[in-house]
Amino acid sequence: AQTVTQSQPEMSVQEAETVTLSCTYDTSESDYYLFWYKQPPSRQMILVIRQEAYKQQNATENRFSVNFQKAAKSFSLKISDSQLGDAAMYFCAYPPPGANSKLTFGKGITLSVRP
């Protein structure tokens, strides 16, 4: 079975500090994509970052970066210089192979940012 696991239900970070959100997945494929989505209190899902498994370089988008460990099937999201607007639920997502663009989401993690 293809699964996505986010084992931390909640995390908190001080404004301007760095926080890392964990995600592990299970797959037998060698080439695939991984995503992190953000859902703020407005509940609008926003794509934060995308990683292609065949690329060895970790993806980076401004203050957001990933630590992709393919062998360990780990895909963590690092948020640097945390801002109050980063407070949200974050979901790790993985598309099961041959699934017509479906995404499997993790349970999500609620991130709070302390001023």
Partner 1 sequence: GAVVSQHPSRVICKSGTSVKIECRSLDFQATTMFWYRQFPKQSLMLMATSNEGSKATYEQGVEKDKFLINHASLTLSTLTVTSAHPEDSSFYICSASKGPLPYEQYFGPGTRLTVT
Task: Tell me how far apart the alpha carbons of residues 14 and 82 are, in angstroms, rounded to a whole number.
Answer: 7
Six-digit token string for 112: 């709070």
Taking the C-alpha atoms of residue 43 and residue 24, their distance in angstroms, rounded to an integer, is 24
Is 76 a residue that touches partner 1 (CB under 8 A)? Answer: no
Q: Does 95 bind partner 1 (CB under 8 A)?
A: yes
Range in contact with partner 1 (rule: CB under 8 A) among 13-21, 59-67, 77-85, 97-105? 97-105
Query: Token pair for residue 98?
Result: 């041959």
For position 102 contacting partner 1 by CB under 8 A, the verdict is yes
48 touching partner 1, by CB under 8 A: no
